[in-house]
Amino acid sequence: MTEDVAQGRYANLAVITHTHDEFIVDFALAYPQRNPVVTARVVTSPRHAKALLRSLEDNIRRYEAHHGVIPEPPRGEGDGSN
């Protein structure tokens, strides 16, 4: 892994789309009064997307068991419905 990749990218917004063969996840920074800036794009197969979903669910359960419940954002904020 390169140092640049190891540093990661911060994102406070994700836009998810799909085709028959793949899922596309654009991670972005959203600032007030500005258009979001995509910082990373991940393209993966439907099977890997489903595995990622399950892994995230498991990790969130373990996180909440240790740190407490993560509050839900208000409807429309960060859920792709706005």
Calculate the CA dihedral of residues 62, 45, 72, 82 and round it to 10 degrees.
Answer: 170
pTM: 0.80
Per-residue pLDDT tens digits for 40-71: 999 999 999 999 999 999 999 999 999 999 99
φ, ψ dihedrals at 57, nearest 5°: -60, -45
Answer yes or no: are the C-beta atoms of 26 and 15 closer than 8 Å.
yes
